[in-house]
């Protein structure tokens, strides 16, 4: 389904294929030979989503851009990249020939270098830079620039590293104290609600 959002319509190259129950919203551009599989959601919000030549976005993956921060948080998927089933890419840049396995997540302003690999269930946190051909093991968290890879059993170290990404600022432009979670999540909900309100005017175009 192709949906006009904020006056922008998805553009799909004639040689690409989009599954009939995939949803493309707003300024989404799908390049030559790319494949968007069943149940995938590509939502540009007030920004854009670009899918490069012969890239694959698998079943039920979510690619969402946003325009609520000062920085550009578009989504870009490079040529020949693979976004696995149930993977999530939010406001991030996926380099050419990157492999995101099932249930991998890449957050706002992160970048993956050419040929990087993010294994099953792994997380690339906000503002993290993966070098070319870097491997993130299953169910681990890559964070920072230079990147560190941390496992869930290093909870204190992981919490400190995530705090340093200033995720709420990167994703939503929300700046609160790390310890004031109630205020942060209240503001995040308000920002999201305001951004998503624009969908009330969406129209199906194809």
Assigned CATH for 2-164: 2.160.10.10
What pLDDT, on the 0 to 100 scale, is given for residue 70? 82
Q: Is the pLDDT of residue 206 over 80?
A: no
Calpha distance 127→96 (Å, rounded):
18
155 or 89, which is more confident: 89
Helix spans in the chain (H): 155-165, 167-172, 181-196
pTM, 2 dp: 0.95
Task: Sketch the domain layout of the chain as residue ranges.
Answer: 2-164
Using a pLDDT cut of 90, give the percent of the chain over it: 86
Task: Kindly indicate the confidence band of residue 127, based on its pLDDT and cuts at 50, 70 and 90.
Answer: very high
Alpha-carbon Rg for the chain, nearest whole angstrom, is 17
- Reported as a single tens digit per residue, the pLDDT across 22-43 is 999 999 999 999 999 999 999 9
Mean pLDDT of the chain: 95
Mean pLDDT of 131-160: 94
Q: What is the DSSP string of 136-179?
A: E-TT-EEETTTTEEE-TT-HHHHHHHHHHHTHHHHHH-----TT
63's CB contacts (< 8 A; 6+ apart) are 40, 41, 42, 43, 49, 51, 57, 75, 77, 83, 88, 89, 90
Tokens coding 30: 């799908």
Strand partners, 75: 49
Contact indicator for 86, 68 with CB cutoff of 8 Å:
no
Instruction: Give the list of residues 6+ apart from residue 200 with CB closer than 8 angstroms, or none.
Output: none
CA distance 11 to 186: 35
Residue 187 backbone phi and psi in degrees, to 5? -65, -40
The pLDDT tens digits of the residues spanning 75-104 come to: 999 999 999 999 999 999 999 999 999 999
CA angle centred on 7, ends 188 and 77, rounded to 5°? 65
């Amino acid at each position: 389904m192709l949906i006009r959002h904020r006056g922008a319509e998805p553009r799909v190259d004639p040689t690409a294929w989009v599954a009939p129950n995939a949803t493309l919203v707003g300024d989404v551009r799908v390049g030559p030979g790319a494949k968007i599989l069943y149940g995938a959601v590509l939502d540009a919000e007030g920004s854009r989503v670009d899918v490069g030549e012969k890239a694959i976005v698998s079943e039920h993956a979510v690619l969402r851009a946003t325009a609520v921060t000062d920085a550009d948080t578009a989504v870009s998927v490079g040529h020949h990249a693979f976004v696995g089933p149930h993977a999530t890419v939010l406001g991030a840049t996926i380099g050419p020939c990157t492999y995101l396995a099932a249930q991998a997540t890449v957050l706002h302003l992160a970048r993956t270098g050419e040929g990087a690999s993010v294994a099953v269930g792994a997380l690339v946190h906000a503002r993290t830079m993966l070098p070319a051909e870097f491997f993130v093991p299953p169910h681990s968290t890559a964070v920072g620039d230079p990147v560190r890879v941390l496992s869930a059993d290093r909870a204190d170290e992981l919490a400190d590293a995530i705090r340093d990404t200033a995720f709420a600022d990167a994703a939503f432009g929300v700046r609160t104290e790390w310890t004031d979670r109630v205020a942060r999540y209240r503001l995040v909900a308000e920002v999201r609600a305001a951004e998503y309100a624009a969908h009330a005017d969406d129209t199906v175009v194809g």
